[in-house]
Amino acid sequence: MDRTRRLRMHPVIRKMVREEHVRIDELIYPMFVIEGENICEPVNSMPGINQYSLDRLNEELDRVKAAGVPAILIFGIPAHKDEVGSGAYDEHGIVQEAIRYIKREYSDLLVIADVCLCEYTSHGHCGLVKNGEILNDETLPLLAKTAVSYADAGADIIAPSDMMDKRVEAIRNALDKHGMVHVPIMSYSAKFASAYYGPFRDAAHSAPGFGDRKTYQMDTANGQEALREVEEDILEGADMIIAKPAMAYMDIIKEIFLNYNIPIIAYNVSGEYSMVKAAAANGWIDEKKIVMENLTGMKRAGAKMIITYHALDAAKWIKEEE
């Protein structure tokens, strides 16, 4: 007679039959670099997360290194924004300078550069705007230019998050033309128009000035459409696929996992982080247990890697368990 509890009785057996593990090697930590000097500005809606100017970035990078987290995802906050987001593809833009600094001082850290225009445009949209419409094809050359300039500064991976159609193809072609055939593209393929990005937009100063992102990010109800996005990006040359948000979209991660043979990254986004931090601060939940349970769920769904603001804490907790 089958009794599934038999394998749960001994802690050693429980460990032996454990199917999934969150590994430090698979964690990616997002960081916000802001133009200016002597800045370490807390993001109010994201306790524990700060914006750093380049001259103080070492404080946070030292913590990343000490935690053993192998990779970071960089977002830039420029001092000046304009209609065409020129700060994104400025050779001496904040992200370009940050990448050069990190690759020089922390050479074994993997640097992933988020490519988008919303942090750099005065209207806060991810693409060019004309008569209130977010333009697609006109935006592509700017994204490609941004990607090339990040790769040129030393970015190890390019991660386009804008959700314009055909941007992976445009970026791949541009990288190849510049001899950067070995720079991988980690594409935000299944990216939903989610309210969970709210705290991020405080952190990155990137809330849209009018309207919303629903004409380019996906409708939150559409699972099948997510697979079309993934298929399209793979055909265009994506090497890895990001799904986000993670927790309310675990079905999407699983579907991608079952249908495609490509590494998947779950993005445990800002709102998911803030909810956990708020409940933990109130003593309503056990932060460590909840975070590890959430991250384990992402692995179980099929994620290979996880982008999370909890990365430094999670790495510490994983080490403690060993």
Minimum distance, C-beta of residue 170 to Zn ion, in the bound complex (Å): 16
114 binds, among Zn ion, ligand PBG, none (CB under 5 to 8 A by kind): ligand PBG
Interatomic CA distance for residues 186 and 238, integer angstroms: 6
Q: Which residues contact 256 (CB under 8 A, 6 or more apart)?
A: 190, 226, 227, 230, 241, 243, 264, 302
Residue tagged 């990005």 (tokens) = 197
Sign of the four-CA dihedral 256, 234, 241, 261: positive
H/E stretch holding 30: strand 27-34
Catalytic residue among 81, 145, 244, 277: 244
Q: Is 126 in the site for Zn ion (CB under 5 A)?
A: yes
Smallest distance from ligand PBG to CB 240, Å: 15
- The answer to whether the beta carbons of residues 308 and 317 sit under 8 Å apart is no
> Could you give the 3-state DSSP secondary structure of residue 188?
strand
Q: Which helix (H) or strand (E) holds 112?
A: strand 110-115
Active site residue 191: yes
The entry of ligand PBG, Zn ion, none near residue 216 (CB within 5 to 8 angstroms by kind) is none
Among 41-49, 113-121, 135-143, 217-225, which window interacts with Zn ion (CB under 5 A)?
113-121
Choices 114-122, 188-196, 219-227, 263-271 (CB under 5 A): range interacting with Zn ion: 114-122
Q: Which of 81, 191, 277, 299 is catalytic?
A: 191
**Spatial distance between the Cα atoms of 214 and 191, rounded to a whole number of angstroms:** 11
Measured at the CA of 69, the angle between CA 67 and CA 73, to 5 degrees, comes to 130
Kindly tell me which of 309 and 317 has the beta carbon lying closer to ligand PBG.
309
Gap between the Cα atoms of 175 and 188, Å rounded: 18
148 touching Zn ion, by CB under 5 A? no
Spatial distance between the Cα atoms of 319 and 112, rounded to a whole number of angstroms: 24
Nearer CB in complex with ligand PBG: 118/301: 118
**Least distance (Å) between residue 321 CB and ligand PBG:** 26
Residues of the shown chain interacting with ligand PBG in the complex, contacts defined by CB under 6 A: 114, 116, 118, 126, 161, 197, 200-201, 206, 213, 269-270
CB of 74 to ligand PBG, least distance (A): 11
State in angstroms the smallest separation of the CB of 160 from ligand PBG: 9
DSSP 245: S
Residues near Zn ion (CB under 5 A): 116, 118, 126
Active site residues: 191, 244
